[in-house]
């Protein structure tokens, strides 16, 4: 009997091991299709494959197809040269010459280099499915798209899919340091094992490349924007070349952040003046050296004259002078420059919101054709909510690249479930009115393809060495959403979230619907419990996690961002204040300027508002502010309840991972709420409205909480 019990225990353990998941596979899980009808249909359609390979990209695509067939259909890739009905035919007109004489070739020729078609067609008298592109990388993207259909249990009958990316450069920006740490990284250390590169190439690099290619990302900026000049030395360039070799089959180019003072720091020059002939020549020689090691090197990202970083203004030169010097060095090789527009000085008398526009708007039209000016999505710094950056729609003679943040620097790090697809969509669909109604940020980005032959979007990575890549399992959704919106900026964040849930968890509606509900409410919940009604930049000064609206020192103060007094709160950015509203076109300018018309989500961003101001809801500003803070915590509790009802429907490992982090999030949401309500209450002098529980501790208690914590989290979270 004892032996039987032990045997049963071992069987149970084995079953748990089989069905447990740790998140490593991301959205490329390729779990066996559990719909019997679809399983049979898929196997019939994919029984024979014609897929000639002549390049590393095609081989990568074939390997992916092989892995997908094995996992989804328990089917070995069966290659044939004889076309029969239901054959899957994969290739370009070069690898399958017969394609050149088919009617669909006209559609293929109209696509950009990354595009593809997936069609049910009559080919040489047989009914087949074709994955067709004019380039090898298009085939890889097409294969991932085809596998996604099966992963999501979609029909593969009568297919007529034509896709191409709307933006040319779709890049991840890693803020990884050369010592293995990551600035604003919350998922472990850097993926890049610099010490053992280029000789040892971790399998993770390939899996990283696969994941990015599956959502269309085609560039990786390897190092921190606060760069070390050492990354441009020959002994470090060979390490970057090792990564480039791994990424190349997946269509991913390597970029580097260039420190502007590198000619002085590692080049032996006494200046980095961009107009100095010696400096220009140094950069030309350095670029030539890079391309000898990395023939498909993408180019440079530069942070200059911001937050203490060196730049052309150190020599009385403009941002255009600096960017153009690098662009001239890269141009013969086809490289590009991303020149960040995130610039400000710590000057207390200057509204930080206006500085990026004021510095770059006058330079419109002075940048080389291979330079992107790259603003963040909003004019301050990756806050939970910002209005779109006014440079979008204001520089018609310069291509701009959008910079989003995927890592949750100001949104709870890897401890909070905050789906950022809604934030990205909110920005991309904002109307700039550059050319009348419909000139959304998305349209502007895409139109650069016509006017400049290039377009771009960048996302600050949330990827690290944690087994599940992003620290919080739901952080994967933000990586996925960025990639999908980089491919098509007009996609719905809701549709993207639903895709991710299907790929990551299940195709069962009883699982999809509740998780989708959680994701779609999560970002607004975070805004509510952190910085509602347009409040911003009141997080902890050092860590950017937890509240610190009271931070005040001679160099940096949160009071510049909320301007709280006993009679009012908010920053006057109207025409009578800092006039930030005038950086937007009409009618956006007039809408933001008029307190009656200004959306409540931006109210305190643009206006100083008395505590007794009557809001559209009928409540006073004070009561509305308190209501938002309490609502945010309630919404996290709702997310907890939704998730708890999924117990037993999701593998235990991932269920417990998310469950424990939701508990953490609820505790920190309450911390935000109680600290902020008490802080602002000491100025408003008004009571917390009836129906809301009062904070259990004093403001001084919350002011003493450090991060990371050294207080009793468990007791706090249980309250």
Q: Residue 5 has what pLDDT?
A: 40
Q: Which of the following is catalytic: 113, 328, 381, 560? A: 381
409 is catalytic: yes
What is the location of CATH 3.90.1330.10 in the chain? Answer: 527-571+608-718
Q: Are β-strands 219-221 and 253-257 bridged in parallel, bridged antiparallel, or unpaired?
A: parallel
Q: What is the pLDDT of residues 101-134, one digit of tens each?
A: 888 899 999 999 999 999 999 999 999 999 999 9
Task: Measure the CA dihedral 344/349/354/358, to 10°.
Answer: -70
**307-330 exposure pattern, b = at least 16 Cβ within 10 A, e = fewer:** eebbbbbbbebbbbbbbbbbbbbb
Q: What is the separation of C-alpha 101 from the centre of its chain, rounded to a whole number of angstroms?
A: 41
Q: Residue 323 has what pLDDT?
A: 98
In whole angstroms, give the CA distance from residue 18 to residue 26: 17
Q: Residue 11 has what pLDDT?
A: 41
Kind and range of the H or E run holding 242: helix 234-247
Q: Which of the following is catalytic: 307, 490, 495, 542? A: 307
Q: Residue 555 has what pLDDT?
A: 85
Q: Residue 345 has what pLDDT?
A: 72
Q: Residue 296 has what pLDDT?
A: 98
Q: Select from 1.10.10.1590, 3.40.50.720, 3.20.20.80, 3.40.190.10 the CATH code of 169-504.
A: 3.20.20.80
Q: DSSP string spanning 609-662? A: EETTPBPTTSSBHHHHHHHHHHHHHHHHHHHHHHHHTTBTTB-HHHHHHHHHHH
What is the location of CATH 3.30.379.10 in the chain? Answer: 26-163
For the chain, which residues score pLDDT lower than 50?
4-19, 711, 714, 717-719
CATH fold label, 527-571+608-718: Alpha-d-glucuronidase, C-terminal Domain (3.90.1330)
What Å distances lie between residue 467 and 135, 162, 343, 473, CA to CA?
34, 35, 35, 10
Q: Residue 16 has what pLDDT?
A: 40
Q: Residue 716 has what pLDDT?
A: 52
| Structure-token match 């992107």, residue found | 372
718 is catalytic: no
Q: Which of the following is catalytic: 64, 386, 409, 548? A: 409
Residue 594: partners with Cβ closer than 8 Å, 6 or more residues away? none
Strand partners, 90: 131
Cis before 221 (ω within 30): no
307 is catalytic: yes
What is the location of CATH 3.20.20.80 in the chain? Answer: 169-504
pTM passes above 0.75: yes
In whole angstroms, give the CA distance from residue 300 to residue 387: 28
Q: What is the separation of C-alpha 116 from the centre of its chain, rounded to a whole number of angstroms?
A: 24
In whole angstroms, give the CA distance from residue 454 to residue 527: 34
Kind and range of the H or E run holding 70: helix 56-73
Nearest Cα to Cα of residue 589 among 438, 388, 400: 388
Going by CATH, does the domain composed of 26-163 fall within 3.30.379.10? yes
């Amino acid at each position: 009997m004892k032996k039987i019990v032990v045997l049963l225990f071992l069987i149970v353990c084995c079953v748990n091991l089989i069905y447990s998941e740790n998140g490593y596979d991301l959205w490329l899980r390729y779990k066996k299709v559990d719909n019997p009808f679809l399983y049979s249909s898929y196997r019939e359609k994919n029984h024979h494959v014609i897929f000639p390979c002549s390049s590393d990209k095609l081989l990568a695509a074939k390997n992916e197809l092989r892995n997908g067939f094995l996992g989804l259909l328990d089917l070995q890739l069966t290659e044939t040269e004889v076309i029969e009905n239901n054959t899957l035919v994969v290739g370009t007109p070069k690898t399958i010459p017969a394609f050149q004489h088919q009617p669909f070739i006209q559609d293929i020729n109209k696509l950009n280099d990354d595009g593809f078609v997936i069609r049910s067609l009559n080919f040489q008298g047989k009914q087949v499915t074709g994955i067709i592109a004019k380039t090898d990388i298009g085939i890889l993207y097409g294969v991932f798209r085809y596998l996604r259909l099966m992963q999501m249990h979609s029909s593969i009958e009568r297919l007529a899919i034509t896709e191409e990316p709307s933006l040319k450069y779709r890049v991840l920006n890693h803020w990884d340091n050369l010592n293995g740490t990551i600035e604003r990284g919350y998922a472990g250390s850097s993926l890049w094992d610099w010490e053992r590169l280029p000789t040892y190439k971790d399998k993770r690099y390939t899996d990283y490349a696969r994941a990015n290619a599956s959502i269309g990302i085609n560039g990786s900026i390897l190092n921190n924007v606060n760069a070390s000049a050492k990354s441009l030395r020959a002994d470090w360039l060979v390490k970057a070349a090792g990564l480039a070799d791994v990424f190349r089959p997946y269509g991913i180019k390597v970029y580097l952040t260039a420190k502007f003072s590198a000619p002085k720091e590692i080049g032996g020059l006494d200046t980095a003046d961009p107009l100095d002939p010696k400096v220009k020549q140094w950069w030309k020689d350095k670029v030539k050296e890079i391309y000898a090691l990395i023939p498909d090197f993408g180019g440079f990202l530069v942070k200059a004259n911001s937050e203490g970083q060196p730049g052309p203004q150190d020599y009385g030169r403009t941002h255009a002078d600096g960017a153009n010097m690098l662009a001239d060095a890269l141009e013969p090789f086809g490289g590009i420059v991303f020149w960040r527009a995130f610039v400000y000085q710590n000057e207390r008398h200057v509204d930080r919101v206006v500085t990026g526009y004021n510095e770059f708007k006058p330079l419109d039209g002075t940048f080389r054709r291979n330079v992107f000016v790259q603003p963040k999505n909003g004019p301050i710094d990756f806050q939970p909510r910002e209005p779109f950056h006014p440079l979008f729609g204001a520089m018609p003679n310069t291509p701009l690249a959008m910079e989003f943040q995927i890592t949750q620097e100001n949104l709870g790090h890897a401890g909070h479930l905050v789906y950022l697809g809604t934030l990205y969509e909110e920005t991309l669909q904002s109307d700039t009115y550059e050319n009348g109604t419909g000139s959304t940020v998305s349209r502007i980005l895409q139109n650069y393809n016509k006017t400049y032959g290039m377009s771009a979007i960048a996302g600050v990575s949330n990827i690290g060495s944690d087994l599940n890549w992003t620290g919080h399992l739901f952080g994967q959704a933000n990586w996925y959403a960025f990639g999908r919106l980089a491919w098509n900026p007009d996609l719905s964040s809701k549709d993207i979230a639903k895709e991710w849930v299907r790929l990551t968890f299940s195709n069962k509606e009883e699982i999809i619907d509740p998780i989708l509900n959680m994701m779609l409410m999560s970002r607004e919940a975070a805004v509510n419990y952190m910085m509602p009604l347009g409040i911003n930049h009141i997080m902890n000064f050092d860590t950017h996690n937890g509240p610190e609206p009271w931070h005040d020192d001679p160099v940096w103060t949160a009071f510049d961002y909320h301007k709280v007094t006993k009679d009012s709160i908010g920053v006057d950015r109207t025409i009578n204040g800092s006039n930030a509203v005038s950086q937007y076109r009409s009618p956006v300018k007039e809408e933001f300027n008029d307190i009656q018309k200004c959306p409540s989500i931006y109210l305190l961003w643009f206006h100083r508002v008395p505590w007794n101001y009557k809001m559209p809801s009928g409540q006073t500003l004070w009561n509305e502010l308190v209501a938002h803070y309490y609502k945010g915590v309630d919404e996290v509790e709702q997310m907890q309840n939704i998730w708890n009802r999924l117990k037993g429907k999701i593998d235990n490992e991932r269920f417990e991972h998310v469950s424990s982090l939701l508990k953490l999030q609820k505790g920190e949401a309450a911390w935000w709420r109680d600290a902020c309500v008490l802080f602002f209450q000491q100025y408003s002098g008004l009571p917390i409205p009836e129906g809301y529980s009062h904070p259990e501790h004093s403001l001084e208690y919350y002011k003493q909480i450090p991060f990371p914590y050294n207080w009793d989290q468990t007791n706090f979270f249980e309250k």
